[in-house]
Structure 1
Amino acid sequence: MAFVFVATAFCSIFLSTEATTSFRGNLRQANTSTQDLKAEVLEAILAMGGRLSEGRLGDLEGVMRPTFDAMPKNSAGNLEHAAASYVLHRLFVQRHGMYIKGLEPAGAGFQRSSATEVLQDRVPTFVQSLFEERLKGQGLSLHELAVLAATLEHLISKEAIARLKLAYAAENFSEAERISTQDVDELLDTYMTMILVGTSNKQDLLEDKAKLFSGYQFWNETQTFARQVRSSVAGSREAEEPFVEGISFEGMRQIVEEIGERYGRWQDAECQDLKRALMKKEHRGTGRVLLKDFYSEGLKGQWQFSESVEYLRELGALHAGESVFIANYVNAHSNCLSSSGLYSICCINECESLLGHLEAKIAQPEAEVETLLALVSALPSATTPAPAIAGDLRRRLEDIARLHGGLVPIHGRLFAQWLHHVYPRECPFPHAAGRTNPMTADDWLSEKGSVVSATTEEMLEISMNASAAVLDLPHWTEEEELLVKPKAQMSLLPKLGIAFALGCLAQLAAKASKKQVLLPMTQKEHFC
């Protein structure tokens, strides 16, 4: 499995690698009028709705409907920006294991180091902004969300084809020729190197592939995964073309698109291994690991458990300076692989599937306390059988309902906090906005001037002297944050979103004019 290990492994394997191609620094290079380009892209996007089959759109609508039904609606019965983003986020995690950049739930953002970095990760957001502008502030219906989702899938497909073309060029294959199974596997090794490292030029690509082959612990598993996908797709094509030897570029396109479909969920097995390792040290069923036990494992050579106290705190994984939240640590954005300009591959948040079950049953943005208690009491997780709701948790839920006039908003911070206490190993503790500032290891080094790892001396000190008493205290904060603000506070389609859209469009035009592959070099980063 090739996932959580990537951050540390690549720091040593690719220590001298520098970025050579990205979205950055090209906002002023476009010759095309941004207004004309905006109109052109919008026309192309909306035209997709007519070319999409009703079956495909119906499939997308069916997957999104439970979450859509559970979202707060505007007066037109549609979703505003935050709710629409959330529904799309859930769709792409559920279908593809992808975290679309810019579509994370409200409150999950963090400061970026530059405006161009923000723009880089706002490509999906500018598409959504264009849809919303065209719809004149009426919000997005389920059907329009399906067209938008198909548009984003199309952008992801185009990015995969761009990677494939670069792999062909790096291996000196012609896109017009059919290639043997052996050559296909060589191409797939090159393609997977781009996914893992983000390399975007021929010379570095082959060098990085050689480094992965000799120095990356999970390279064999990655190769096996790619070959299994190749066998599956190629087998279907052989049934259609039984007497044709080799695989065409079109066949390779289907293989790499299927890799994109499966990779996000395949790599999550590594996340589950990490979760199980933490659970072996869990303290009294709390979903937390004492910091002294965490570092004891790090001192045994478990490289995952060596982050400094300061870094764990900024990730949102540290509780009261004495313990580590299992779910927050596993789902930390620093564990995301981000070689795509459109999405990140992260550990899949198990809490979202639990919430999805509640959404499907409730089909409303709010629910009564007794309804939620009945549903949750009958809802097991991967590690918790049908949970018994203790008296204090029942009172907490009643308090949330009183705060909101008798009903519990199921997409609010307080309910997320309640779910964390019911399912502490699956549901991350939801820190209030602004309390944490997640960074990649590279960003941390750049801003703080220090590495993310604790020293051996620091780990020894904590492992020998830290106290466990604080872990037994209840951890509850009263700050409420809603995914969608009450209607009186809503502001439709902030102009800042359109500014992001125009900036991204200009940037894309500049890149297109240079015919560069739009693959940023960042190896591991959390989405914006």
Structure 2
Amino acid sequence: MALVTSAQLMRRDKPKREGNVHHVLQAALRQGLVKVSADRLLHVEESLRPSYEAFPKDARGNLPPHQVLPALTRAYFAKEHGWLVRGLESPGAPIISPGESHEDAHVAITGGPGGLYEVQILKDKAPGLAAALRDAALSPVAASAGLSLGDISRTVAALEQLLLEESLPLLRASYFLDGLDSGEDAQVPAVVEEWQAHEALLSYLLLFRHGLPRSLTDVESHQRLKQRAMKTADWSALKKFEAQALSEVVSGGTGKIGKISWSQASEAVSVLAMRYGRWQESECEDMKSTLLKMDAGGGRVKLQDFHGSPKHPHYQFTEKEDYLRKAGILVEEGDEQYVLIANYLLGPSNCIASSEYFAVCCLNQCEQVVSRLETILQAPAATVGQIMDAASGIRGNIGNIGNSSHDTHDDPPTAELQESLGMLVDNTGAVVLHSPGFRRWLHQAFPLECPRPTVQEDAAEEAELAEAREWLEMDEAARQKWQPLVLHPSECTRVPEWHAERSESSAEEGSEKNEPPGPPAAMLEVRHLADLMARCLCCALAGMEAWAQLHGVKASPKVDFFSPSVPPSQGFCARAREPISSGELLLDLPLQACLRPLHVDTCHFSDGTFVMDEQQKLMLQLLHEALVNGERSGWLPYIRTLPRTFPTLPLWYTAEEKKFLKGTSVDTLLEAAHIASDKDLQAMRACCQSDLLSILPDSPSLEQLRWAASVVASRAFDSSAAGVILAPFADALNHSSAAPHTRMRDCGKQLLFHAERDIPAGEEIMNCYGLQGNTQWLLNGGFRDSSRPCDDLLVTPADVVSSALAHLHYYRQDEAARSADDEESFLCSRLSLLQDRGLWHWQRVFLPITG
């Protein structure tokens, strides 16, 4: 079991003002999420996760509180929907007010510390949430707890819901224009016929696309508009788009519909509004193809060619020079003027469906590129080699992001890209991903997808960078201040995610020898992580002895229940301090010392909607202790010894990582487990969001739910008297399917563990949980039974590198097992390869080996 502490999930004491600000914000978010489904919230969280992982975080895993939120929100809407939200424009971008054309655009001054609370729809429709966001944004960095992934995803989901609800007045107008109600004061019909619903939704799409200004009462004008639309070549595609959305809402895509209620039509409108940006992207791709034919190199088109291109039925390049220059689309090189293709496509002149609060524009393909990079690198910074490898893989699959015609475009020379990227390397040997220089490099590497940043965008990136540095410096100062009083092991063992400076002696040695720069400092620190973890594991257990006495736990003095494993990165284990005879009592554990779902069992679910099993209840109880009680929890010493992450658990692998499980029986089990776990997580999220469950004042994030699910799945015991429980001390007896070391007796009020055989001094003591195979162990625990080395797939946490996110996964097809020495030699050679390639800390590595 790879143990790292869970302290980052626990609340800490904060200044009173910040606590009040955070409480008000959470209350406003709960109100804003009333109509947001658990499934939608999970989708938003998963979309934001790569960017969250790639930003620098403090010891609690939180992001800086001010600059990051508007940037992540803007990127989410641009990537997912192509929405340009009013008040959330990119710094330096031209703003087109509702009902105006691009010729009336003026330059935005947004992007400063204000940010998200300036969004117009929040000020108009959710002033309480806007005020809470404003207080949170303007509070001092020193007094802020920062932003968790849950905070960010809930905020984005609440804003998304507000924007979707703006489609309801248009649907009501569509009913009127199609003769389904008699006016604004009349009630819409409770149900309509299927054909009437189709007509109303098509009318909605026409109104939505037309944008402002539009008439919602002129029936004759609307019907003429509809008749003209029916004669266009796109009408059949529009009807198919509308019909599919309604069918999914009403019949789940089976095609059986019948009469349509207002609520069903409203839900279909939300689906149409959410998907419209992706559906109309074909027009943007057509424009891109046309511009590519005129490409003069580097994603640029000569201005004279731009204006001289033939007219197209759906678009024409008529933007004036003044607008192009103001929008950062036009560049001058010598005597020639060029239009930047990526900048032009993302410009507001190509936005349609303009409303009071947002417009639908071309999807931001650059944000999709960035998201893929972040998914691969999973760090705030990376080496030149890692970035080049990741970028190369993305360019090889660029057709999945943008226009397939990119295949005919000449990519920038690799040597040139590598040289320019090398100029961004800082004194730690890494390139910071969220920085102005890296954004400019993205434009060079992906000129057809990534726009060239404006001066204002560069300034905004610098502000984010400065805040991140201040945030992490203060976090480090706080740790130093409080460390003598309250020691959180995660703060000792956490590998810095920002750039730690190299020691002066190392720098001097490098300069004297005139050697090339070594690996980043964070990589160097991983080499010493084993010593750090060995010391800090002991720190984490400092209170366990007193806690055991308080709860009546009796452990044999012959057993060291929390002996650091070898290597230390694999956490704790139980070892015999001296010889133990068969039958000796190893542990007497009262049930009162076990973590049980007491609060959850007493919760009353008044409407009977939610039914949870024992494992789900225990998960919520664990979250209650970690998130709500925190430092006051009676199980705090035990919670600190729990794993913080489960990187070896296949259930949480990314899509790329799962490819290495194909063809194994783990893959088959994994598919079924994913379906079950998704249902569990969604049901628990729904419980937490409802007012029925009071033990968690805030809805936990997906990351926190996964943490609790992983702990319970891999460590829980089943007691006849108390059901599913977490048993301190007992779970140090690492699980093994073939370990005849101990047996557990369930005596009702206590659990007794006895030795099953003579155990020599120094040997690890394991508990037998039955005859499960490697497949089940890999799925539930992420580790294999060493007594069955050739079964299916071997997942080996290799030395300290495993806890630093570099894991070896290899699959054997033959039945012949290698000797332990051969395996150790093989792993050492692979670790050397990882070290040479600079992959100690920055990403996971999967090496499929056959034969």
TM-score range, shorter chain: 0.5 to 0.7
Map of 2:443 onto structure 1: 420
1:149 aligns with 2:156: yes
Selected match of 1:263 from 258, 276, 295: 276
Map of 2:382 onto structure 1: 367
Q: CA deviation at 1:146?
A: 2.1
Q: CA deviation at 1:195?
A: 0.9
* Alpha-carbon spacing, 1:180–1:295, altered in 2? closer, same or farther (3 Å): same
Q: Quick check: 1:377–1:387 contact (8 Å CA) kept in 2?
A: no
Matched letter for residue 82 of structure 1:
Q
* Alpha-carbon spacing, 1:489–1:72, altered in 2? closer, same or farther (3 Å): closer
Q: Distance in 2 between matches of 1:386 and 1:361?
A: 24
Q: Distance in 2 between matches of 1:243 and 1:356?
A: 38
1:178 aligns with 2:158: no
Selected match of 1:334 from 349, 367, 373: 349
* Alpha-carbon spacing, 1:411–1:240, altered in 2? closer, same or farther (3 Å): closer
Selected match of 1:228 from 226, 234, 241: 241
Map of 1:282 onto structure 2: 295
Q: Distance in 2 between matches of 1:490 and 1:414?
A: 20
Q: Distance in 1 between matches of 2:469 and 2:152?
A: 24
Q: CA deviation at 1:325?
A: 1.2
1:395 aligns with 2:419: yes
* Alpha-carbon spacing, 1:488–1:109, altered in 2? closer, same or farther (3 Å): farther
Matches within 5 A, 1:67-216: 67-73=51-57, 77-79=61-63, 80-106=65-91, 108=93, 111=106, 121-124=119-122, 127=129, 130-131=132-133, 133=135, 137-174=144-181, 175-196=188-209, 197-199=211-213, 201-204=215-218, 207-208=221-222, 210-211=224-225, 213-214=227-228
Matched letter for residue 58 of structure 1:
L
Q: Distance in 1 between matches of 2:325 and 2:230?
A: 28
* Alpha-carbon spacing, 1:332–1:217, altered in 2? closer, same or farther (3 Å): farther
* Alpha-carbon spacing, 1:235–1:373, altered in 2? closer, same or farther (3 Å): closer
Q: CA deviation at 1:67?
A: 0.9
Q: Distance in 1 between matches of 2:257 and 2:309?
A: 54
Q: CA deviation at 1:265?
A: 0.2
1:310 aligns with 2:317: no
Q: CA deviation at 1:362?
A: 1.6
Q: CA deviation at 1:119?
A: 9.4
Q: Distance in 2 between matches of 1:272 and 1:242?
A: 31
* Alpha-carbon spacing, 1:386–1:292, altered in 2? closer, same or farther (3 Å): closer
Q: CA deviation at 1:178?
A: 2.5
Q: CA deviation at 1:170?
A: 3.4
Q: Distance in 1 between matches of 2:254 and 2:286?
A: 41
1:407 aligns with 2:407: no
Q: CA deviation at 1:206?
A: 5.2
SS in 2 for 1:485: helix
Q: Distance in 2 between matches of 1:376 and 1:148?
A: 31
Q: CA deviation at 1:121?
A: 4.8
User: Percent of counterpart pairs with the same letter?
Assistant: 26
Matches within 5 A, 1:454-469: none
Selected match of 1:292 from 304, 325, 328: 304
Matched letter for residue 421 of structure 2:
L
* Alpha-carbon spacing, 1:65–1:271, altered in 2? closer, same or farther (3 Å): same
Q: Quick check: 2:198–2:242 contact (8 Å CA) kept in 1?
A: no
Q: Distance in 1 between matches of 2:368 and 2:358?
A: 20
Paired residues, what number?
A: 406
Q: CA deviation at 1:84?
A: 1.7
Q: Distance in 1 between matches of 2:434 and 2:451?
A: 14
TM-score (norm 2): 0.42
* Alpha-carbon spacing, 1:129–1:482, altered in 2? closer, same or farther (3 Å): farther
* Alpha-carbon spacing, 1:429–1:340, altered in 2? closer, same or farther (3 Å): same
Selected match of 2:373 from 334, 358, 371: 358
Map of 1:457 onto structure 2: none
Selected match of 2:462 from 482, 486, 493: 482
Q: Quick check: 1:368–1:406 contact (8 Å CA) kept in 2?
A: yes
Map of 1:431 onto structure 2: 454
Stretches of structure 2 that go unaligned for 5 or more consecutive residues are 1-22, 96-105, 111-115, 182-187, 400-405, 472-851
Matched letter for residue 98 of structure 1:
W
User: Considering only aligned residues, what root-mean-square deviation do their CA atoms show, in Å?
Assistant: 4.0
Matched letter for residue 66 of structure 1:
P
Can you list the C-alpha shifts for 1:208-263, whole angstroms capped at 9, x where unaligned?
A: 5524643x699652563244332452366257999984322122112211111211
Q: CA deviation at 1:350?
A: 1.4
Higher mean C-alpha displacement, 74-83 vs 329-338? 74-83
Q: Quick check: 2:94–2:108 contact (8 Å CA) kept in 1?
A: no
Q: Distance in 2 between matches of 1:300 and 1:51?
A: 42
1:63 aligns with 2:70: no
Which has a greater percent of helix? Answer: 1
Stretches of structure 1 that go unaligned for 5 or more consecutive residues are 1-38, 435-477, 492-528
Map of 1:437 onto structure 2: none
Matched letter for residue 76 of structure 2:
L
Map of 1:454 onto structure 2: none
Q: Distance in 2 between matches of 1:344 and 1:94?
A: 14
Q: Distance in 2 between matches of 1:392 and 1:241?
A: 53
1:325 aligns with 2:340: yes
Q: Quick check: 1:82–1:105 contact (8 Å CA) kept in 2?
A: no
SS in 2 for 1:328: helix
Q: Quick check: 2:87–2:120 contact (8 Å CA) kept in 1?
A: yes
Q: Quick check: 1:333–1:346 contact (8 Å CA) kept in 2?
A: yes
* Alpha-carbon spacing, 1:193–1:242, altered in 2? closer, same or farther (3 Å): closer
Higher mean C-alpha displacement, 260-269 vs 219-228? 219-228
Can you list the C-alpha shifts for 1:4-41, whole angstroms capped at 9, x where unaligned?
A: xxxxxxxxxxxxxxxxxxxxxxxxxxxxxxxxxxx999
Q: CA deviation at 1:266?
A: 0.7
Q: Quick check: 2:54–2:378 contact (8 Å CA) kept in 1?
A: yes
Q: CA deviation at 1:396?
A: 1.7
SS in 2 for 1:322: strand
SS in 2 for 1:58: helix
SS in 2 for 1:99: strand
* Alpha-carbon spacing, 1:209–1:397, altered in 2? closer, same or farther (3 Å): farther
Q: CA deviation at 1:147?
A: 1.7
Can you list the C-alpha shifts for 1:28-72, whole angstroms capped at 9, x where unaligned?
A: xxxxxxxxxxx9998453345688665553333222111111123
Higher mean C-alpha displacement, 410-419 vs 106-115? 106-115
Q: Quick check: 1:96–1:261 contact (8 Å CA) kept in 2?
A: yes
Higher mean C-alpha displacement, 417-426 vs 305-314? 305-314
Matched letter for residue 265 of structure 2:
M
Q: Distance in 2 between matches of 1:377 and 1:252?
A: 45
Q: Distance in 2 between matches of 1:124 and 1:98?
A: 16
